[in-house]
Amino acid sequence: MKRIPEYFGCMVFNDAVMQARLSAEDYTTLKRTMEHGKSLNLSVANTVAAAMKDWAIENGATHFTHWFQPMTGITAEKHDSFIMPENGGKVIMEFSGKELIKGETDASSFPSGGLRATFEARGYTAWDATSYAFIKDGVLCIPTAFCSYGGESLDKKTPLLRSMEAINRQALRVLKLFGGDDVTSVKTTVGPEQEYFLIDKELFKQRKDLTYTGRTLFGAKPPKGQETEGHYYGVIKPRVQAFMKDLDEELWRLGVPAKTEHNEAAPSQHELAPVFETTNIAADHNQLTMEIMQKTAKKHGFVCLLHEKPFDGVNGSGKHNNWSLSTSTGVNLLNPGETPSQNAQFLLFLCSVIKAVDDYQDLLRISVASAGNDHRLGANEAPPAVVSMFLGDELTDILAALEKDEAYGAKEKELMRVGVHTLPKFPKDTTDRNRTSPFAFTGNKFEFRMLGSSASISEANTVLNTAVAEVLRQFADELENASDFERALHDLIKRVIIEHKRIIFNGNGYDDKWLEEANRRGLLNLKTTPDALARYLDKKNVDLFTTHKVYTEKEMQSRHEIFLENYCKLNGIEAATMVDMARKDILPAVSAYAHELCATITAKKQVCEQVDISYEQGTMQKISALSAAVYENVEKLDALLKSTKSIACAVECATHYKDEVLPTMRALRAAADELEGLVSSKYWPFPTYGDLLFNV
Ligand code: ADP
Ligand code: MG
């Protein structure tokens, strides 16, 4: 058995491989491309491609693919083999620099939100040299960006890369003001904690809802749910342990730094946390993690559910996006420093995040909006739909002292002045960790907790990076022109605290009183995806993204369309699945059971006319009434689904789903779930929550 350091990253064309296989000159050129986004000339590209191909073939690869992240939210690949026919019916193995750098692909089968109508169906993929190529299932995968022929981005990677450039530009300006001339770049870092469920594959196959939609659309609560909290951090079962071991090894081979594996709050729910990396790498690695999780689960007789809310009444799954800023000199800009000047710099970056989150609450909410996540946010298990920030009591007190020019702390009786006083040390792992906050400061990073488990992290980080870049731009503009830097800095920080402290909330985010309070503070409560998306194209948001060249207005319009389409599609599939299950499985099963009850009544009566038939009769009446309710709602749902076909406008269609289809789905489910509690288990047509959640 090989030791981990020996096989970690063995399937990755990483720095060590590049150094070993390229000439010093080519290696330097490639590094420059990777670090500074310089373009690679064709002759070097040819050399790199040849080296990659030789390495890939030695490691069992036969094909290559441009690996990209279209707006479907999952990754896409089209495999090409390396073979090139030669005279005499032979082949050689070829891979050119051109094939490495750019690929043509038919964009028409991927979501384009109207860009397709005005542009050619052709699209192209372009190598993202900042993310290493790797081998997966015998295929050399080249991480790429995906654009329309006209250059509009059609994927999740391109805007993320652009947002990283934006924040780099503005953060460097701010650092200059603090004398940070040695810093050549600032990158955002992310460690995404990934939650998921594992359920038995055989049981999964017996449920159409899980098969078609990844979540249960029916299902009564089992006698035991997650009440006892026995699962959280509990002992991991051997079968799950074997899966996790396999998963870790697979991920390590691909260079994904999987670090922590544990049980989560709900039965059969687990979490994987990697060590943080540069954001675009973290995004690529999170996509890979989700893919490998699903694949590895199958090998162990499981299905891995990544849906945000697979089970009603049981905690859903999210993704915690731990985010910070790191300089090329290795400084974490959200780490409070040791000296007054370092602290002033920390406070300014902290304030930039506070202002960004307050100014762009709507975009942050939109970045996590999906049909699946709508079932989770605000359901007393995940943060509410209101965006707020947790800073902890100590930091909040420090900000309050700064705001009011008051003394802070028991010892120091001096006034707090930015740039003059050292901040008191506050422990990194504050014990009053708040798990209910959507956006929490955790000592040296922020944890954005609203992301859904199945979503790409790119969306949220694109917004976060761009919003903070915009605030840093405003700060730099103001401070660069100040005659007295220290004074201006102090005033700026004070002003930001006064204007944006409404976004700070250290209490219990699950409490209904908070929603009232948030409303008084004027914070947004965008409950559903359509509510949130209605603000996407607001002028301030278009200005933000166009100013920083993250999206063009046209790209935003196309994305708006795609988000709405996705919402409608997902809900449409769920509704159709419910109709199918109710008509073909639930109602026939209930009828059969009713028939058995009636037959029993007749048989009993034959023995004795006065016999007690209260159970059979009572149950029969109840299930008949409930079947009628199921039937009525199925018919209604079916009609509503048919009527969506005539709605051309995406906004109208989404509203129709939200206001008409979803409430009918809930009514249908309520009646069916009640039936499940009454009908003999012998007749119930699919595995129950108890079977699914407690059977691993
Ligand atoms: P927990 O939140 O479970 O107590 P940690 O705080 O150690 O655990 O880390 C949670 C996640 O945050 C991990 O993925 C970790 O790598 C990541 N993380 C730690 N530091 C940073 C940072 N500076 N930038 C981004 N992510 C970070
Ligand atoms: Mg966690």
* Residue partners of 424: CB distance under 8 A and separation at least 6: 394, 398, 408, 409
Best of 442, 445, 447, 468 for a ligand 1 pocket test (most atoms within 8 Å of beta carbon) = 445
Residue with token string 């949130």: 532
Q: How far apart are CA 577 and CA 575, in angstroms?
A: 5
Q: What SS3 string covers 503-521?
A: HECCCCCCCHHHHHHHHHC
Instruction: Give the percent of the chain with pLDDT over 70.
Output: 94
Q: Is 57 exposed, middle or buried (0-12, 13-18, 19+ CB in 10 A)?
A: middle
Q: How far apart are CA 575 and CA 570, in angstroms?
A: 9
Q: Is 21's pLDDT higher than 70? A: yes
Work out the pLDDT band at 424, boundaries 50, 70, 90: low
Q: Is 158's pLDDT higher than 50? A: yes
Exposure pattern of 101-111 as b/e (b: 16+ CB <10 Å)?
bebebebeebb
Tens-place pLDDT, residues 225-239: 666 556 666 678 899
pLDDT at 150: 83
- C-alpha of residue 259 to centroid of ligand 1, in Å: 10
**Helix (H) or strand (E) run with residue 148 in it:** strand 139-148
What is the set of domains in the chain, with CATH numbers? Answer: 4-155 (3.10.20.70), 163-551 (3.30.590.10), 566-693 (1.20.120.1560)
| Cβ of residue 281 lying under 6 Å from some atom of ligand 1 | no
pLDDT at 417: 67
- R_g of the chain, CA atoms, integer Å: 28
Q: How far apart are CA 593 and CA 681, in angstroms?
A: 10
State whether residue 195 is helix, strand or coil. Answer: strand
Average pLDDT over residues 93-122: 81
Measured by CA distance, the residue closest to atom 13 of ligand 1 is: 191
Q: Which residues surround ligand 2, an ion (CB under 5 A)?
A: 193
Long-range CB contacts (< 8 A, 24+ apart) of 358-362?
358/499, 358/500, 358/502, 358/503, 359/467, 359/470, 359/471, 359/500, 359/540, 360/463, 360/467, 360/541, 360/544, 361/387, 361/503, 361/523, 361/524, 362/524, 362/526, 362/532, 362/535, 362/536, 362/538, 362/541
Of 84-88, 168-172, 624-628, 640-644, minimum mean pLDDT range = 84-88
| Beta carbons of 601 and 630 less than 8 angstroms apart | no
pLDDT at 35: 80
* Paired sense of beta strands 269-274 and 258-263, if any: antiparallel
* Residue partners of 411: CB distance under 8 A and separation at least 6: none
pLDDT at 425: 61
Average pLDDT over residues 212-226: 90
Q: How far apart are CA 141 and CA 11, in angstroms?
A: 10
Tens-place pLDDT, residues 683-694: 999 999 999 998
Greater pLDDT, 234 or 584: 584
DSSP 424: P
Alpha-carbon separation of residue 68 from 146, 282, 351, 444 (angstroms): 6, 14, 35, 32
Tens-place pLDDT, residues 256-293: 999 998 888 788 999 999 999 999 999 999 999 999 99
Alpha-carbon separation of residue 331 from 71, 441, 444 (angstroms): 34, 17, 11
Q: How far apart are CA 85 and CA 94, in angstroms?
A: 10
DSSP string, 241-309: HHHHHHHHHHHHHTT--EEEEEE-SSTTEEEEEEPPEEHHHHHHHHHHHHHHHHHHHHHTTEEEE--S-
pLDDT at 420: 65
Q: How far apart are CA 559 and CA 553, in angstroms?
A: 10
Greater pLDDT, 412 or 21: 21
Q: Which pair of tokens denotes residue 564?
A: 């709405």
State whether residue 192 is helix, strand or coil. Answer: strand
- Which phi and psi angles does 205 have, rounded to 5°? -65, -20
Count CB-CB contacts under 10 A for residue 88: 5
Q: Is 607's pLDDT higher than 80? A: yes
* Paired sense of beta strands 139-148 and 63-67, if any: parallel
DSSP string, 540-558: HHHHHHHHTTS--HHHHHH
Q: How far apart are CA 204 and CA 297, in angstroms?
A: 12
Work out the pLDDT band at 97, boundaries 50, 70, 90: very high
Q: Which pair of tokens denotes residue 16?
A: 């060590």
pLDDT at 265: 78
Exposure pattern of 125-155 as b/e (b: 16+ CB <10 Å)?
bbbbbbbbbbbbeebbbbbbbbbbeeebbbb
* Residue partners of 25: CB distance under 8 A and separation at least 6: none
Residue with token string 């951090």: 233
**Helix (H) or strand (E) run with residue 415 in it:** none
Distance of CA 329 to the CA centre of its chain: 29
**Helix (H) or strand (E) run with residue 84 in it:** strand 83-85
* Paired sense of beta strands 277-278 and 122-127, if any: unpaired
| Cβ of residue 194 lying under 6 Å from some atom of ligand 1 | no
| Cβ of residue 278 lying under 6 Å from some atom of ligand 1 | no
Q: Which pair of tokens denotes residue 92?
A: 């050689």
Q: Which pair of tokens denotes residue 595?
A: 């028939």
- C-alpha of residue 1 to centroid of ligand 2, in Å: 31
Measured by CA distance, the residue closest to atom 17 of ligand 1 is: 191
- Which phi and psi angles does 540 have, rounded to 5°? -60, -30
Q: Is 431's pLDDT higher than 50? A: no
Q: Which pair of tokens denotes residue 470?
A: 């915009």
Average pLDDT in the chain: 92
Instruction: Give the percent of the chain with pLDDT over 90.
Output: 78
| Cβ of residue 664 lying under 6 Å from some atom of ligand 1 | no
Tens-place pLDDT, residues 524-583: 999 999 999 999 999 999 999 999 999 999 999 999 999 999 999 999 999 999 999 999
Alpha helices per DSSP H over 428-552 = 458-480, 485-500, 512-520, 529-533, 539-547
| Whole-structure pTM value | 0.95
- C-alpha of residue 229 to centroid of ligand 1, in Å: 24
Work out the pLDDT band at 382, boundaries 50, 70, 90: confident
- C-alpha of residue 476 to centroid of ligand 1, in Å: 28
Q: Which pair of tokens denotes residue 410?
A: 């028991």
Max CA-CA distance within the chain?
104
| Cβ of residue 445 lying under 6 Å from some atom of ligand 1 | yes
Residue with token string 């919402």: 567
Best of 233, 279, 322, 448 for a ligand 1 pocket test (most atoms within 8 Å of beta carbon) = 322
Best of 276, 350, 449 for a ligand 1 pocket test (most atoms within 8 Å of beta carbon) = 276
Q: Is 388 exposed, middle or buried (0-12, 13-18, 19+ CB in 10 A)?
A: buried
Tens-place pLDDT, residues 435-476: 789 999 998 999 999 999 999 999 999 999 999 999 999 999
Q: Is 489's pLDDT higher than 50? A: yes
Work out the pLDDT band at 336, boundaries 50, 70, 90: confident
If you count them, how many residues does the chain have? 696
pLDDT at 62: 96
Instruction: Give which of 117, 96, 81 is closest to 48, Cα–Cα.
Output: 96
- C-alpha of residue 231 to centroid of ligand 2, in Å: 14
